[in-house]
Structure 1
């Protein structure tokens, strides 16, 4: 088939679903066309309103119809579903596949949410492809090629997750999230090589892959499952004592949980002490399997195995808690091992009976084993009750996953394209930065000259009181629906209490995001604010992806610049960058500054442009962004402009001037 710019132009003009194509869309579509044709990677920053999804879908369809298989990555299921809707609306004659994580499916074998470890242990599962040509339901199975292997599946009995994987094997366009890409890309490419990878919301890619590769070891999760299993398998006499014990504890947290746990396993130990050899119980289960579980002696053998597991996992917990928090550990300090394979077998048996959605004990044991194979790229440290093993650089993982494909990253707010490319494995690329299609005179970014310097350190209470007062004055003056964004929940809570005390003067509803809110609750909070108006207090994490158009949001206040708290992983990354620069002959002082800019500053600046981007979502939107932290006026704003993070101009003014200016500016556009 012909592949030329003239042919592509005729294609997208005939397929474009709207009357008018924006100049930015033409530029983006044609740049993507040239990148794919010439096998050049591309990083695109396309501000909100450009129509970037449609701008990469049309080139995707064009090349897919010419045999080039494409993977489209994004972060959320909502965004994946929107991409699918737009793809289907364009009606391409192609195989389009969509795959989600396994826990979004129902496991037909156990009748509850699917779990990867359960599937792995359930080797005789009848609901996935195997070598049998006839299903137990009597249906003649259909063949499927998986690499060099031929297997067979029943179209009626196959589980939905396996069905999605089969569809992906031969799909022309595959839509998935970043985590699935990390875990399944090589499996999905068993039959066809992916030639194009398009990553939407690319600013989230590094964090997603890092989270996917992180090993978190939390013994409390495993110990909680052990107690649940012990109660389930315990004979009636032991259950009676355990129930009586539970009645003595109204709350299970802190010291009370430790006491309860100790008394719980003492009851189990006392019951077993004259009945079985606790050390030998695990071997008995592995040798006899289900035969012993169904006998009268089976319950004691099970409890003995669980008690042995408790002793070993308790020791791991105590070892982890002995480490200092947020201090990098050496791998030699992590000689953890649980010598009890029967625990996995017992949990599989337990989960099958109870139809539970996860295998948290087996997952813990699996993670402990993975400690043996981590390399020097990982930073290991204690955080709370958990041990975290976090990869510092994810670029090597992504390079391996990209293979020889042409890679295209798109986002509304990438910031510094060069640093983004280095961190996400796209070191050689063509850049494309598009202008916003919306009038720039409808938004103002204001840097307060006399805001509070919110740098860590100093007297936090005094800083916080002054910042709260500034926020209150801005809110009272503007009388606008406002989103106030904070660096931490501690800052947020302080401001919330201050505003509640002065609510009668503010005369606006106050909505507050809480750390224990899940996604559904956070979305309901956003909808209430959008409907009723007022002031919404939140952290930057909540704000990412929030879409509140029109009069529902006309002011955003950034309380403090979100520089990350130093952690072992951040310190290691800065050290690696600095060492690399020193090897290139950069002087130590400059190397230190550059390493800061590429790590802490990059995280902060990328978050700030996300915060600013909450305001103008449609061409009719208008509003003001006020940055209260004085560091933005002093040096950060100019550095962000110089390094390509901030594309818009900003104005600096005193708080008094801002209190006069903001109402006048908003009144120019306000619909009364």
Structure 2
């Protein structure tokens, strides 16, 4: 039986011709957008008869495998000597460094297009041109070859032959997936309450190529209820890949467990989990250079063998699996995991791999996005994360230091840095409080571009030392500032801020809904889900929802009798904290005595937590574990490991921190929760800007800036308690504002039967 596989010319030639090292020695950072702009600039110089972005395709059949090759050549030029296939490449290198043999992959791409064109037009030869454009100077350098049809045929036959064995592997794993999905059943004897409607909604949303916003209570099994239908939807036409996105490592592990469960039920597909470079790197420092790292040295010479090995022998490519094969084949584990995303059916990773303009995966091309579904877990977190991703700062002090550091070594660089420092000094005007900047006057962007150009010249051949490292950091800060500056519109405010005495300009993304919507719309479907996606209007609005998006709000499957909810009307306002701290400690101790077992108490800040802890220590008959600032993963796990079934541990933790969401302490591992305060962020210049912005938009600005984000933290913390039908326990909400109608209306249904603690 004949099988078929489609591949782009670029993918084919990259597989066959890549080689050499990972070498992240400084290179100018040409983004996909900049590369496209450079292509367009060259194409504007084409003559009237010339064509650009010419679609080409050709098919081969070898050993019952049908290979469909396709792509777009940058230019098809008509000259007196016949047609020319033009391949355009932007480069950060100096043009005099480049020779005809500098980039075998680029020549291979051009020759791939040339082969298809000669086949289509019946030509016996064609001219092939490689056009390099220097990123900074925009100067061009051309290499031109005349290649016969027989040479192109031999070249292409050799490429197809080298690719054929890999194609067989890809077809094999695709066949495994296609055969296992139709018979895959839900991996539990029955659905929990709420799971079937959630799974059905996810499948229908993907089928109809729409988006869904779903609130599903904590503990019903949201991960399996979204992953299972999304995988079943891979039977649909043009649905090939799933990105499972989350903000926390613990929820990535839950996704891996769900895939393992389905694997035990007969599912066979490939999944890869992405881990941040600084966590998965084998070396002490993440210096990706062949003379420092053996896993970077010769990476591209060995990567094809590593890919074949892991794809043939593994289905779930988790961090330990990736590390094992990376050591075996001596390849960089981080780059290896990124290369695996091309062939994986499910990719598990942080939000930033899709949404952050600085680190989003450039390899995920528009045609692939249309066949990809996003599952965005704990998506209430994405609002604030997006604000951070799409904001940028430019600090004054860094440029002063650079101007002094390089004054005698590189006068042009020092002057470029000093010009920015003086601009920032002028804008600050001696002010020490934050202020709005109505307009960045003067040749602002040009000054930043001049600094970037001088920094690039200096960094190009600079060995890594402390001085050049600081320059590199500031270079990337400036690059990012310029990148975000292109996005600034009515959803932004430009601020002057002063932190620790250092002035900075901040491009503050007040409303990330527009950029989130622009990112999301490229994908087939997006499923935003969380236990606390309420109020729906707020989250749908902030996450860039559209009128025709689906909404699903599932009731809690748990009985309100499982929760003993108490509201203690004690003031936790900043001015009252010293005065009420002894009574607060007593309320917490009374909760412990009323319901034995393990308890977690959440506070608005570390300072407040330690204040109350000093009073709580007087109760010597209880054991207390206190969250520390900056805990690494190992210390977090140690903290949680102390909550054992049948124990009597009291945990003091921070609201909105790592222990207040995504933590699963089932059964008797957790018997009680207390939330101190209503979770409001402190009043600040930026929060007030958010409030004013949404007030002008006709929303309740105070709720958008303070109430909804704060109450989400409260609900997430309370959600740590009831994780299954058999869990019971107590929740105490401590603040008099919890009894106001606004806050009562935001409580979940199963928290409705509360009692009020008397003074």
TM-score (normalised: structure 2): 0.61
1:521 aligns with 2:639: no
Tell me what 1:99 maps to.
274
Q: For the residues of structure 2 that align with 1:360 and 1:422, how far apart are their CA atoms?
A: 35
Tell me what 1:401 maps to.
519
Contact 1:348 1:359 in 2 (8 A): no
Tell me what 1:539 maps to.
654
Q: For the residues of structure 2 that align with 1:73 and 1:651, how far apart are their CA atoms?
A: 35
1:453 aligns with 2:571: yes
Q: For the residues of structure 1 that align with 2:530 and 2:615, how far apart are their CA atoms?
A: 37
Q: For the residues of structure 2 that align with 1:490 and 1:188, how far apart are their CA atoms?
A: 44
Tell me what 1:566 maps to.
683
1:368–1:646 CA distance, 2 compared to 1 (3 A): same
1:208 aligns with 2:385: yes
Counterpart of 2:731 in 1: which secondary structure? strand
Tell me what 2:553 maps to.
433
User: Deviation at 1:427?
Assistant: 2.9
Tell me what 1:68 maps to.
239
Tell me what 2:706 maps to.
600
Question: Pairwise CA RMSD of aligned residues?
Answer: 4.3
Q: For the residues of structure 2 that align with 1:372 and 1:46, how far apart are their CA atoms?
A: 37
Q: For the residues of structure 2 that align with 1:139 and 1:625, how far apart are their CA atoms?
A: 55
1:181–1:523 CA distance, 2 compared to 1 (3 A): same
1:72-111 alpha-carbon deviations (Å, 9 max, x no partner)? 211223432432343254244445344344444549xx98
Q: For the residues of structure 2 that align with 1:11 and 1:199, how far apart are their CA atoms?
A: 22
Contact 1:76 1:177 in 2 (8 A): yes
Contact 1:452 1:629 in 2 (8 A): yes
Tell me what 2:623 maps to.
509
1:87–1:357 CA distance, 2 compared to 1 (3 A): farther
Q: For the residues of structure 2 that align with 1:579 and 1:354, how far apart are their CA atoms?
A: 47
User: Deviation at 1:371?
Assistant: 7.1
Counterpart of 1:409 in 2: which secondary structure? strand
- Pairing of 1:645-664 with structure 2 (within 5 A): 648-655=751-758
Correspondent of 2:409 among 276, 281, 284: 281
Tell me what 2:174 maps to.
none
Q: Which has the higher contact order (CA 8 A, sep 6+)?
A: 1
User: Deviation at 1:392?
Assistant: 0.9
- Pairing of 1:360-375 with structure 2 (within 5 A): 360-367=473-480, 369=482, 373=486, 375=488
Contact 1:306 1:343 in 2 (8 A): no
1:414-434 alpha-carbon deviations (Å, 9 max, x no partner)? 221221111001233222222
1:432-490 alpha-carbon deviations (Å, 9 max, x no partner)? 22233444312121122xx223345x554324444344334444554543211111222
Counterpart of 1:351 in 2: which secondary structure? coil
Q: For the residues of structure 1 that align with 2:745 and 2:624, how far apart are their CA atoms?
A: 34
Counterpart of 2:579 in 1: which secondary structure? helix
Tell me what 2:440 maps to.
332
Contact 2:181 2:231 in 1 (8 A): no
Contact 1:75 1:204 in 2 (8 A): yes
Tell me what 2:598 maps to.
481
1:600-621 alpha-carbon deviations (Å, 9 max, x no partner)? 1111221111111011123332
Tell me what 1:637 maps to.
743
Tell me what 1:184 maps to.
360
Q: For the residues of structure 2 that align with 1:111 and 1:363, how far apart are their CA atoms?
A: 22
Contact 1:45 1:412 in 2 (8 A): yes
1:8-64 alpha-carbon deviations (Å, 9 max, x no partner)? 9x9788422222232422222112222222233212222222122111122211222
State which drifts further: 558-567 or 345-354. Answer: 345-354
Counterpart of 2:546 in 1: which secondary structure? coil
Correspondent of 2:188 among 18, 23, 26: 18
Tell me what 2:692 maps to.
575
Correspondent of 2:199 among 21, 25, 29: 29
Q: For the residues of structure 2 that align with 1:608 and 1:560, how far apart are their CA atoms?
A: 8
1:436–1:318 CA distance, 2 compared to 1 (3 A): same
1:125-168 alpha-carbon deviations (Å, 9 max, x no partner)? 97677xxxxx59999999xxxxxxxxxxxx96864444444433
Contact 2:492 2:507 in 1 (8 A): yes
1:220–1:82 CA distance, 2 compared to 1 (3 A): farther
Q: For the residues of structure 1 that align with 2:281 and 2:467, how far apart are their CA atoms?
A: 15
1:391 aligns with 2:509: yes
User: Deviation at 1:359?
Assistant: 4.8
1:426–1:329 CA distance, 2 compared to 1 (3 A): same
- Pairing of 1:29-68 with structure 2 (within 5 A): 29-66=199-236, 67-68=238-239
User: Deviation at 1:203?
Assistant: 1.4
Would you tell me which structure has more helix in proportion to its own residues? 1
1:367-386 alpha-carbon deviations (Å, 9 max, x no partner)? 45557546243343425236
Q: For the residues of structure 2 that align with 1:346 and 1:106, how far apart are their CA atoms?
A: 24
**Is there any run of 5+ residues in structure 2 with no aligned partner, and where?**
1-177, 309-327
User: Deviation at 1:649?
Assistant: 0.9
1:366–1:491 CA distance, 2 compared to 1 (3 A): same
1:417 aligns with 2:545: no
Q: For the residues of structure 1 that align with 2:302 and 2:262, how far apart are their CA atoms?
A: 40
1:487-537 alpha-carbon deviations (Å, 9 max, x no partner)? 12222121011112x133xx1012222334344333322323547633211
Tell me what 2:729 maps to.
623
Counterpart of 2:375 in 1: which secondary structure? strand
1:462 aligns with 2:570: no
Contact 1:609 1:646 in 2 (8 A): no
**Is there any run of 5+ residues in structure 1 with no aligned partner, and where?**
1-7, 130-134, 143-154, 228-264, 269-277, 285-304, 582-590, 657-672
- Pairing of 1:303-382 with structure 2 (within 5 A): 322-332=430-440, 339=451, 343=455, 345-346=458-459, 349-351=462-464, 359-367=472-480, 369=482, 373=486, 375-376=488-489, 377-379=491-493, 380-382=495-497
Q: For the residues of structure 2 that align with 1:382 and 1:359, how far apart are their CA atoms?
A: 23
User: Deviation at 1:541?
Assistant: 2.2
Counterpart of 2:673 in 1: which secondary structure? strand
Q: For the residues of structure 1 that align with 2:182 and 2:194, how far apart are their CA atoms?
A: 14
Tell me what 1:300 maps to.
none
Contact 2:600 2:650 in 1 (8 A): yes
Contact 1:113 1:356 in 2 (8 A): no
1:249-269 alpha-carbon deviations (Å, 9 max, x no partner)? xxxxxxxxxxxxxxxx8xx9x
State which drifts further: 63-72 or 88-97. Answer: 88-97
1:323–1:621 CA distance, 2 compared to 1 (3 A): farther
Q: For the residues of structure 2 that align with 1:517 and 1:160, how far apart are their CA atoms?
A: 25
- Pairing of 1:189-338 with structure 2 (within 5 A): 189-190=365-366, 192-195=368-371, 196-217=373-394, 279=407, 281-282=409-410, 322-332=430-440
Q: For the residues of structure 1 that align with 2:414 and 2:422, how far apart are their CA atoms?
A: 12
